[in-house]
């Protein structure tokens, strides 16, 4: 059964236009907000993880390793089931400091632009194989349905369409401003299409080919090879490697980080996704054995990787065949769009902006948007070039293994962000570089048929399709060992220690109370106008004032420190944490400290303790309750009382003082004593 090339192209365009329409209608506000931000939509959007693997490659792996194909689903399901201790801390840090990618997270935690750039290089290199996998699956499936069509033409047309979609709906808003709600709903629809198609095909095979469960059991009893293929040897370590890589994927894959954290509508949505995504992946995995057995029973002419197409063709159903092609197209396009969108943001923040911070040559937001669009196009066409030169000669499962094993090198650093404050930039960079070098030598070069160095030097173990998992574990072990040793043997900078405290679970930072060079919010605008331009500087300062609910003209030192932090956080979402930190440090600096230093900023500490109130237990909780009791006692004293720091900053202003002076605490706490009206100061 075959289709004509024009009809297949028309079906593909109609489906992608449907996705375009869903995103466009959503962006225009035509759908109720409660639908768009519903946890179910968010959970389904996380189904972007199950790209072409779920529709095609899982069947091929089931044919090779039996139920080992489930490792791809079980690993990430375990990560989401551990969301309270694994994903929630990352979301908390990302929301607090506007960290929109894993590279941002590393750059902030390890206080190193090089860390962010290295993560970007690692992600960009590893993700090319995953993108090539999507392109290969779409071109091959289209060639099966329209044999006269050139696979190269299909690859180019598909890549161009994905570029246009990602450009139009991935960069419509200012970077770091809001969720891409249209994109999220379109990806959620993609996930429904994949699930419906696979379940439909599985049902048709079960009842149309085997006449129900009893017929399937009879057929399995009469066959020897299908039974043997759906077993899993405990000695085969590939499923362990796949499960570990899948577990890491929840944190390190660009498209999963973007959808899980950047597009998250609320913490409650992540709580529901922690069991909703595993349930979705379970439903996706259910039909895989049926598709494998159906392909064997019907003697499908395609290889196991494309049994989803082959069984539908063998059944003689054009509608079912076209539906499975659309399911593959849906899976591939969704993963490519989100991956390139996320990766383009990383390249912009950690490769482009450190080299060229934009000035006020027109609209900086417009400049950022178009640079990101160009990066999206460059990434997808780089993936197309990789596919045409190397990827099309590799099996889908090997492409997936190469990509996931490369991304796995980022897992130690990611876990160090939330669980190991002693880890530092030296250890991270040394470990990551070592792991990546081994990954390139043992997996990338041999399987891309470029150079098998281990074979050349006569090593006792040479990489091949049966032992790739060994080299995955070796590269990760070297990475972890070097990261640990160098971090333990070297000292962390004060900046790294402060960032580690901010990121670690339950840690409270101890900021110092220092005086800024800027004495008002108007000074902020003037000083930021130097690197950003007057229009952008004014917009960013006004945005920060609004978020903090401060007046348009602010002069109080404490509130100015809060304003500085908020501006840095907002610029971090726009330009990346390293560029934002450097920009704020240079243009919104502090006055030199006196020889005796300065006191800790008690207002910052109290605000942090307020945020942690429900998380403090045991002795810490009792001490915090005691602190609150004494502070409330001071507030309720019938005697007017205020507290003033050594530098003249008002730290406390009780209720009796408010009644006596007619000045509220909100107006004066954090201001200088001399800022009071003349008859009071």
Q: State the DSSP string of 412-471.
A: HHHHHHHH-TT--HHHHHHHHHHHHHHHIIIIIHHHTTS--HHHHTT-SS---TTTHHHH
Same domain assignment for residues 217 and 154: yes
* Percent of residues, the chain, with pLDDT higher than 70: 90
Buried b (16+ CB within 10 A) or exposed e, 623-661: ebeeeeeeeeeebeeeeeebeebeeebbbbbbbbbbeeb
Q: Does residue 508 sit within a domain?
A: no
Average pLDDT, the chain: 85
Give 361's DSSP letter.
S
CA atoms within 13 A on the CB side of 257: 29
Q: Does residue 414 sit within a domain?
A: no
Domain boundary among 383, 398, 432: 383
Same domain assignment for residues 533 and 652: no
Same domain assignment for residues 529 and 653: no
List Cβ neighbours of 139 (8 Å cut-off, separation of 6 or more): 151, 152, 154, 155, 158, 392
Same domain assignment for residues 178 and 253: yes
| Phi, psi of 490, rounded to the nearest 5 degrees | -110, 160
pLDDT digits (tens, 9 = 90+) for 305-339: 999 999 999 998 899 999 999 999 999 999 999 99
Domain boundary among 383, 398, 417: 383
| Alpha carbon distance 646, 650 (integer Å) | 10
Q: Is the pLDDT of residue 567 over 80?
A: yes
Same domain assignment for residues 562 and 637: no
Give mean pLDDT, residues 112-131: 93
Domain boundary among 356, 383, 410: 383
Residue 578 belongs to domain spanning: 521-587
Is residue 228 very low, low, confident or very high in pLDDT (cuts 50, 70, 90)? very low
Given the structure tokens 């009809």, which residue do they identify? 7
Which residues is 590 bridged to in the sheet? 516
Lowest mean pLDDT among 208-217, 445-454, 467-476: 445-454
Give mean pLDDT, residues 462-487: 90
Q: Does residue 514 sit within a domain?
A: no
Q: Does residue 451 sit within a domain?
A: no
Same domain assignment for residues 574 and 640: no
Q: Does residue 600 sit within a domain?
A: no
Residue of 427, 410, 443, 259 lying closest to 334 (CA atoms): 259
> Apex CA 74: angle with CA 69 and CA 78, to 5°?
165
| Alpha carbon distance 440, 672 (integer Å) | 59
Helix (H) or strand (E) holding 238: helix 238-252
Per mean pLDDT, which of 6-10, 412-416, 419-423, 549-553 is the most reliable? 412-416
Same domain assignment for residues 576 and 644: no
Q: Does residue 681 sit within a domain?
A: no
CB 574 within 8 A of CB 175: yes
Give mean pLDDT, residues 109-136: 93
Same domain assignment for residues 539 and 663: no
State residue 171's pLDDT score: 61
CB atoms within 10 A of CB 229: 18
Same domain assignment for residues 573 and 635: no
CB atoms within 10 A of CB 172: 15
| CATH number of the domain encompassing residue 313 | 1.20.1730.10
State residue 506's pLDDT score: 47
Same domain assignment for residues 551 and 650: no
Q: Does residue 248 sit within a domain?
A: yes
State residue 1's pLDDT score: 61
Same domain assignment for residues 525 and 656: no
Is residue 492 very low, low, confident or very high in pLDDT (cuts 50, 70, 90)? confident
pLDDT digits (tens, 9 = 90+) for 13-27: 899 889 888 888 888
CB 503 within 8 A of CB 639: no
Give mean pLDDT, residues 245-252: 95
State residue 382's pLDDT score: 95
DSSP β-ladder status, 642-644 and 650-653: antiparallel
CB 315 within 8 A of CB 235: no
Q: What is the pTM of this model?
A: 0.86
Q: Is the pLDDT of residue 391 over 50?
A: yes
CB 639 within 8 A of CB 655: no
Give mean pLDDT, residues 53-58: 90
Q: Count structural domains, the chain.
A: 3
Give mean pLDDT, residues 495-505: 78
Give mean pLDDT, residues 652-670: 86
Same domain assignment for residues 525 and 645: no
Is residue 513 very low, low, confident or very high in pLDDT (cuts 50, 70, 90)? low
| Alpha carbon distance 436, 267 (integer Å) | 34
Give mean pLDDT, residues 461-469: 79
Q: Does residue 417 sit within a domain?
A: no
Buried b (16+ CB within 10 A) or exposed e, 487-518: beeeebeeebbbbbebbbeeebeebebbbbeb
State residue 507's pLDDT score: 47
């Amino acid at each position: 059964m075959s289709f004509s090339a024009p009809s297949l192209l028309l079906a593909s365009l109609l489906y992608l236009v449907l996705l375009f329409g869903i995103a466009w209608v959503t962006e225009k506000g035509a759908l109720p907000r409660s639908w768009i931000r519903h946890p179910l939509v968010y959970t389904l959007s996380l189904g972007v993880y199950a790209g072409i693997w779920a529709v095609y490659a899982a069947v091929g792996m089931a044919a090779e390793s039996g139920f080992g194909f489930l490792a791809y689903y079980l690993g990430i399901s375990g990560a989401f089931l551990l969301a309270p201790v694994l994903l929630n801390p990352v979301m908390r840090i990302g929301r607090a400091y506007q960290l929109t990618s894993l590279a941002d997270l590393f750059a902030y935690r390890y206080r190193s632009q090089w860390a962010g750039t290295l993560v970007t290089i690692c992600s960009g290199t590893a993700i090319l194989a995953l993108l090539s996998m999507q392109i290969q699956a779409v071109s091959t499936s289209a060639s099966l349905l329209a044999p006269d069509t050139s696979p190269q033409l299909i690859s180019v047309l598909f890549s161009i369409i994905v570029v246009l979609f990602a450009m139009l709906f991935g960069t419509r808003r200012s970077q770091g401003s809001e969720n891409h709600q249209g994109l999220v709903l379109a990806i959620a629809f993609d996930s429904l299409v994949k699930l419906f198609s696979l379940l439909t095909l599985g049902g048709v095979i079960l009842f149309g080919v085997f006449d129900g469960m009893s017929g399937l059991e009879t057929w399995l009893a009469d066959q020897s090879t299908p039974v043997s293929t759906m077993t899993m040897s405990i000695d085969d370590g590939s499923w362990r490697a796949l499960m570990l890589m899948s577990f890491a994927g929840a944190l390190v894959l660009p498209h999963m980080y973007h959808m899980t954290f950047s597009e998250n509508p609320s913490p409650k949505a992540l709580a529901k996704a922690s069991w909703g995504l595993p349930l979705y992946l379970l439903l996706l995995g259910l039909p895989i054995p049926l598709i494998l057995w159906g392909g064997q029973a019907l003697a499908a002419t395609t290889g196991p990787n494309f049994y989803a197409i082959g069984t539908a063709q063998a059944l003689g159903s054009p509608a079912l065949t076209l539906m499975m092609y659309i399911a593959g197209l849906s899976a591939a396009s969704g993963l490519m769009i989100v991956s390139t969108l996320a990766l383009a943001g990383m390249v912009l923040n950690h490769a482009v902006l450190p080299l060229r911070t934009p000035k006020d040559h027109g609209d900086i937001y417009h400049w950022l948007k178009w640079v990101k669009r160009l990066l999206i196009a460059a990434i997808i066409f780089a993936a197309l070039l990789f596919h045409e030169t190397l990827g099309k000669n590799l099996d889908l499962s090997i492409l997936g293994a190469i990509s996931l094993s490369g991304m796995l090198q980022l897992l130690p650093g990611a876990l160090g962000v939330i669980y190991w404050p002693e880890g530092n930039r030296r250890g991270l960079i040394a470990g990551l570089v070592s792991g990546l070098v081994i990954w390139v030598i043992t997996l990338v070069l041999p399987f891309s048929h470029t150079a098998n160095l281990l074979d050349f030097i006569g090593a006792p173990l040479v990489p091949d399709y049966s032992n790739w998992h060994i080299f995955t574990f070796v590269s990760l072990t070297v990475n972890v060992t070097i990261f640990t040793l160098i971090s333990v043997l070297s000292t962390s900078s004060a900046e790294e220690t402060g960032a580690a405290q901010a990121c670690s679970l339950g840690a409270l930072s101890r900021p110092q109370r220092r005086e800024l060079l800027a004495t008002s919010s108007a000074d902020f605008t003037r000083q930021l106008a130097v690197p950003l331009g007057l229009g952008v500087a004014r917009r960013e300062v006004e945005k920060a004032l609004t978020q903090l609910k401060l007046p348009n003209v602010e002069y109080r030192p404490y509130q100015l420190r809060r304003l500085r932090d908020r501006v840095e956080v907002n610029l971090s979402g726009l330009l990346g944490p390293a560029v934002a930190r450097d920009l704020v440090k240079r243009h919104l600096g502090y006055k030199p400290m006196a020889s005796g230093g300065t006191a800790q900023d008690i207002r910052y500490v109290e605000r942090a303790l307020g945020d942690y109130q429900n998380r403090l237990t045991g002795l810490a909780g009792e001490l915090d309750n005691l602190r609150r009791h004494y502070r409330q006692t001071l507030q309720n004293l019938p005697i007017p009382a205020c507290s003033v720091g050594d530098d003249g900053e008002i730290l406390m202003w009780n209720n009796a003082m408010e009644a006596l002076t007619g000045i509220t605490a909100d107006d004066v706490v954090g201001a200088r004593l001399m800022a009071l009206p003349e008859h009071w100061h």
